[in-house]
Amino acid sequence: MAERPWILPAELRKYSEYESVKGRPAEKLAVDIGRAEEYVVRYTGNGFEEGELPRAVRTAALLLAEAHAYNAAMPATRITGERFDDYSYTAENKSLEIGGPEVLALLKDYVLTGQKGLDIRLRSV
């Protein structure tokens, strides 16, 4: 398996544009990175045991880790609004999508098909 962790907290901080991710403690970023790596391994069914980790897989893990860190750092209150006479204002803090289409596209070439040790036998009745 490729050496884990695939990404270090300092690399995640350097990549991210979000201040909430940059200010997150290294211990928490390590958990976010672990969650991202586990997602990649479970989604693909691939442990990446041979050779170097492909660049697309590392990028997908980086995007997932950033999304986990950003969502975890968000405040609990998501919708705020105010109304004054004819004026109203509503803002919503949006979380980042985990495993969105761009991440799945990066991982699609590394998904292993089929299950090891699964045999299906059919017979006519």
pTM: 0.76
Please give the average per-residue pLDDT across 109-125, as a whole number: 70
Please give the average per-residue pLDDT across 91-95, as a whole number: 66
Q: What is the pLDDT of residues 18-76, one digit of tens each?
A: 999 999 999 999 999 999 999 999 999 988 888 889 999 999 999 999 999 999 887 65
Of 106, 20, 18, 95, nearest in space to 61 by CA? 106
Give the whole-angstrom CA distance, residue 122 versus residue 11: 51
- Residue 19 is predicted with a pLDDT of 92
- Residue 77 is predicted with a pLDDT of 52
- List beta partners, residue 83: 88
**Domains of the chain, first to last:** 9-110 (1.10.3230.10)
Taking a C-beta distance cutoff of 8 angstroms, is the pair 43, 111 a contact? Answer: yes
